[in-house]
Structure 1
Amino acid sequence: MSRFTSTPGFSRRRFLALGSGFSLAAALPVAGLSAAPARAEPRFSGDPFALGVASGDPEPDGAVLWTRLAPDPLAADGRGGMAGYKVPVTWQIAEDPGFRRVRSAGVEWAVPELGHSVHAEVRGLEPDREYWYRFRTGRHVSAAGRTRTAPAADAGIASMAFAFVSCQNYADGHFTAFRHLAGEDVDVVVHLGDYIYEGGGQGTAGRGHLPAREIHSLADYRVRYGQYKLDPDLQAEHAAHPWIVVLDDHEVDNNWADGLDGGDVGGAEFAARRAAAFQAYYENLPLRRSSLPAGPYMQLYRRLSYGTLAQFHVVDTRQFRDNQACGDGRQFDCDDRLDPARTMLGAEQEAWLLDGLTRSRTTWDVMANQIMTMQGDSAEGIEQAFGMDTWDGYAAARQRLFDGVEKRGIGNFVVVTGDAHRSVAADLKHDFDDPASATVGVEFLGTSVSSGGNGSDQDEWGRVWLQENPHMKFHNVQRGYGVCEVTRESWRTDYRVVPYVSTPGAPVTTRARVHVTAGRPGIQEVEQPAAPQP
């Protein structure tokens, strides 16, 4: 039985209510109904596999294998140098990197309606083992990628390792962190959002965005993904490990909220932009057909398990949230953020999450989350100030989640988070304003790959955070990623950092190791082997 579960997060009625401006054409190729003529032996102006390969959403019997045909990924029309015909693409998956023991093979059509992307959902593999895969079309063969299936659902595995990462602004610096991550011994990588940035920033690292403006159309989004995916460090990491992905805001627009039923960010113009952004996201990531967008809606929240050791509850904190309270930004006095009617996840997803936590039989339950869950008071003294885009702006919704975790006896609740361009390890408290209140879990906030530039070990914001938020146990503002080593008895998160991203080639070090013990809520120890000397 598959352990991948999908719950519809929107209704067809709601989609159709937006009017006839959106087409279900993107769904047609899945049903074999592409209107494009076929080209069995295509000719390409360049390497059709220039964007590399990837795999994702590993299950015990398989994974998604991805590529996208694009001999000219930066072509302004967004077609990647491809004409309007469909192309057969053969895939192979083998038990060895030399492909002497091919385990399975098949053919997928790369169609123009989906940017000539390929999402092969492979089944029939053995659980908890490595495989190598590649693609072929005409005379061209892709680079090989490595993937790994998940353990069987009832497997009592002793340990696993995963990495979490987010926020890769191409213009802000080099993706050196991905090159180092490609060499880590992990089972899977969890990407928590901001895979691209939608702005037109040119930065100072000689990696200005293409197109050189803020993007809105499908063609624009496709070109932007093409630029990012040409990065050799990102390609190396995709080829090294399977990924679990979820988007945040910059894949569409900064700090966007649902808004399609009205409000400040609503309307057909934003819905069209969101539909284009979602389609480009699907075309360029290793997602299952269950995540194929329907206009401006896309199914992203889902669960994946690693035996009886860990279960990942991947949440979507963008599509179903209410608009940010008090005009967004950092607010000192905003009663609206406490309104119990406000939601971050939407009622359906909130129930899905708590139900899944209740039913879970794994040692660790991991919420893969985009926006900081912990309280982050950023004002010194008696006053308090909070960011309205984080869970602080949806405080009652956060309290419902924490109350549900407590009432259901979820003993080892861990949240991994992106977005903030800084690393923070913190206890999650029933009442953040009372340090003596119950600890309901821990959160590992991860830094960015490159967003924000080189970063530093500490900054003024971090000084205030550590001073005003005693639940925060570690803080750092360098670029990098997190690696989690998980056993039945313990959890360790290593914060891996690079000293600069303005130029390539930076080394990686472990800035901190944070320890959690199963059955003992809260962070037990923080080691800082790479702490700066006074």
Structure 2
Amino acid sequence: MFDPSDLRAAARSEGGVSRRLFLSWAAALPGIAVLGQRAEGRTLRHPTFSSDPFSSGVASGDPTPRGVVLWTRLAPEPLEPGGGMAPELVEVGWEVASDEGFSNIVRRGSSVATPQLGHSVHVEVDGLEPGRWYWYRFHSGAAESPVGRTRTMPRSDEVPDRLTFAFASCQHFESGLYTAYEYMLADDPDLVFHLGDYIYEGAARAGGVREHIGDEIRSLDDYRIRYALYRGDEHLRAMHASCPWVVTWDDHEFDNNYAGAISEEEGTDPVAFLERRANAYQAYYEMMPLRRRSLPRGPELRLYRSIDFGRLASFQVLDTRQYRTDQPNGDRRSPINEQALDPKGSLLGREQLGWLKSRLLASTSTWNVLAQQVMMGMVGFRTDGVAEPIYSMDQWPGYAAERMALVEFLRDRKVPNPVVLTGDIHSNWANELRVDDRQHDAPVVAAEFVGTSISSGGNGSATVPGLEERLSANPCVRFFNAQRGYVRCSLSPTEWRTDYRVVEQVTTPGAPAVTKASFVVEAGKAGMEPA
């Protein structure tokens, strides 16, 4: 007989949903359906719509040298359950052209938008030329989508002269405007990496710049509507349409500070929690330009993957939520204790960690990048009544054994030019990573660039009380700033440059943006220098 207490105990020990556990739990979760691979039944080939069905815009993602994922969703009433669509199969045509005017269409076809996947469309286009820009659009009935622009990656054996990309995270809708995307669009990057907290799951709160709809989200329709609300922002839609995005999640796409199958709230029913996780994961897949390999199976969705820009840069996109063991010390800040140093504790899970190491060993790229969520720098803070510095147990210091072993792996296996990209923390940091950052004289192994939020936390500030003391106690930190914005990176075979782009206000439109700081990493050297 199924016992939910067994579920919680197994999740704590295994750090997430193993396939064995998933198969046993699925039988006990009648509300969770495993999504099929085929759409069956009558397909509407000439639908009519009450209003624009392409209200969430278009997007592309996960590019390869020969292809890319194209995405859209049919939702004439995006903030209503079902998006204003009847539960029917609907044909959606698509076209890819080598020019913005679509005078030379190089690929075209049709897909079926199904109610099971919220009438989203994920087209995996192949047969394109490496290393060039394309334009695409969708149509259904008499309706036509906005035009999107995308690009393929260079050939796998090519070393391009340059790559420019941006990364961002944490875009709480109520806290501020998405002005940062307006400036990111003007930068015209080749790629965008979104490192999590694309939406926030909380209930509507009065007094913000904008307002969520309804209570804290739990059902599949709740999550779909929340994504549609966020996609209603014109700057976010425009940025999605301008270049390919590579996305991964953190916690708020589901529930704050969760760890695998474990809620941060004691007493949460584990079956209901997994049911909610299945809803959250499915909505994420529906609204993101992901490949079919990421199609969710109940509360399980494989998101970690590689994106290569020729041999200039190899990006390992990580998932630090789905497979982690429970945070030490009840997720409260604490010194690095026995739990954090327990080798059984894991942020990545055994399978993902093994995959990551194999990818790093096989890489022939100049720059080897971890695109992930939580800060890897071991930054401690002094507090009254505690003799030792305290650290965030939700970040990598809470899993210090795995974190130090991973950096040791980068060092001992001589992985070329490792760089870590991080979101989550609503502030900018530039960190030099050592095997143990508490050993200030140890050699630097990698650079970590932490990006602030797009809007979460409101306007923020350029500094915080006691900053100088905190920085002097943590020599691994080269820069800190707590305003809003995004990070722009430019790579060549010899140099990596990071620019911290800060928007002075997110509570009023049209605020200016400035480059607050810039750092350069020279290929072959682990440290960073101000630019």
TM-score by length of 1: 0.93
Q: How does 1:491-510 map to 2 (within 5 A)?
A: 491-510=496-515
User: How far apart are the structure 1 equivalents of 2:356 and 2:292?
Assistant: 21
Q: What is the match of residue 6 of structure 2?
A: none
Aligned to 1:506, the other structure's residue is in SS state coil
1:320 pairs with 2:327: no
1:418 pairs with 2:423: yes
User: How far apart are the structure 1 equivalents of 2:486 and 2:19?
Assistant: 38
Q: How does 1:386-425 map to 2 (within 5 A)?
A: 386-425=391-430
CA contact (8 A) 1:180 1:508 kept: yes
User: How far apart are the structure 1 equivalents of 2:240 and 2:303?
Assistant: 19
Aligned to 1:181, the other structure's residue is in SS state helix
Q: What is the match of residue 362 of structure 2?
A: 359
CA contact (8 A) 1:258 1:323 kept: yes
User: How far apart are the structure 1 equivalents of 2:67 and 2:206?
Assistant: 40
- What do residues 9-68 of structure 1 show as CA deviations (whole Å, max 9, x unaligned)? 96543322103325775632xx32345x42221121110001100000011011000000
- What do residues 338-362 of structure 1 show as CA deviations (whole Å, max 9, x unaligned)? 1111111011111111111111100
Aligned partner of 1:27 among 35, 39, 43: 35
Aligned to 1:233, the other structure's residue is in SS state helix
Q: How does 1:3-42 map to 2 (within 5 A)?
A: 12-20=19-27, 21=29, 25=33, 27-28=35-36, 31-34=37-40, 37-42=42-47
Give the AA of the match of 2:38. Answer: G
User: How far apart are the structure 2 equivalents of 1:172 and 1:120?
Assistant: 33
CA contact (8 A) 2:431 2:478 kept: yes
Report the alpha carbon displacement of residue 411 of structure 1 after superposing the two structures with TM: 2.9
Cα distance change on mapping 1:257 and 1:87 into 2, 3 Å = same
Q: What is the match of residue 337 of structure 1?
A: 340
1:56 pairs with 2:61: yes
Report the alpha carbon displacement of residue 469 of structure 1 after superposing the two structures with TM: 0.8
Q: What is the match of residue 139 of structure 1?
A: 142
Aligned partner of 2:442 among 437, 444, 447: 437
Q: What is the match of residue 245 of structure 2?
A: 243
Structure 2 unmatched runs, 5+: 1-15
CA contact (8 A) 1:496 1:508 kept: yes
Q: What is the match of residue 215 of structure 1?
A: 217
Report the alpha carbon displacement of residue 124 of structure 1 after superposing the two structures with TM: 0.5
- Identify the range of structure 1 (357-366 vs 197-206) with the bigger mean alpha-carbon deviation: 197-206
Cα distance change on mapping 1:159 and 1:456 into 2, 3 Å = same
User: How far apart are the structure 1 equivalents of 2:417 and 2:517?
Assistant: 21
CA contact (8 A) 1:205 1:503 kept: no
CA contact (8 A) 2:166 2:487 kept: yes
- What do residues 112-169 of structure 1 show as CA deviations (whole Å, max 9, x unaligned)? 0000000000000001100010000000000001101110100121211111100000
Cα distance change on mapping 1:62 and 1:266 into 2, 3 Å = farther
Cα distance change on mapping 1:263 and 1:448 into 2, 3 Å = closer
Cα distance change on mapping 1:11 and 1:396 into 2, 3 Å = closer
User: How far apart are the structure 2 equivalents of 1:93 and 1:354?
Assistant: 36
User: How far apart are the structure 2 equivalents of 1:43 and 1:275?
Assistant: 31
User: How far apart are the structure 2 equivalents of 1:302 and 1:135?
Assistant: 27
Q: How does 1:179-190 map to 2 (within 5 A)?
A: 179-190=182-193
Give the AA of the match of 1:18. Answer: W
1:455 pairs with 2:460: yes
Report the alpha carbon displacement of residue 383 of structure 1 after superposing the two structures with TM: 2.5
Report the alpha carbon displacement of residue 182 of structure 1 after superposing the two structures with TM: 1.4
User: How far apart are the structure 1 equivalents of 2:18 and 2:124?
Assistant: 25
Q: What is the match of residue 375 of structure 1?
A: 378
Count of residues in Structure 1 that have an aligned counterpart in Structure 2: 512
Structure 1 unmatched runs, 5+: 1-8, 528-534
Q: What is the match of residue 175 of structure 1?
A: 178
Give the AA of the match of 1:240. Answer: S
Report the alpha carbon displacement of residue 412 of structure 1 after superposing the two structures with TM: 0.4
Cα distance change on mapping 1:262 and 1:294 into 2, 3 Å = farther
Q: What is the match of residue 519 of structure 2?
A: 514
- What do residues 438-477 of structure 1 show as CA deviations (whole Å, max 9, x unaligned)? 2110100000000000011111274453232111001111
Q: What is the match of residue 121 of structure 1?
A: 124
Aligned to 1:274, the other structure's residue is in SS state helix
Cα distance change on mapping 1:260 and 1:331 into 2, 3 Å = closer
CA contact (8 A) 1:164 1:481 kept: yes
Aligned partner of 1:233 among 232, 235, 239: 235
Q: How does 1:88-127 map to 2 (within 5 A)?
A: 88-127=91-130
User: How far apart are the structure 1 equivalents of 2:97 and 2:469?
Assistant: 52
TM-score by length of 2: 0.93
Aligned to 1:396, the other structure's residue is in SS state helix
Q: What is the match of residue 302 of structure 2?
A: 299
- What do residues 303-361 of structure 1 show as CA deviations (whole Å, max 9, x unaligned)? 11011110000111001100110110212463311111111101111111111111110
Report the alpha carbon displacement of residue 228 of structure 1 after superposing the two structures with TM: 0.3
User: How far apart are the structure 1 equivalents of 2:432 and 2:121?
Assistant: 41
User: How far apart are the structure 1 equivalents of 2:171 and 2:113?
Assistant: 27
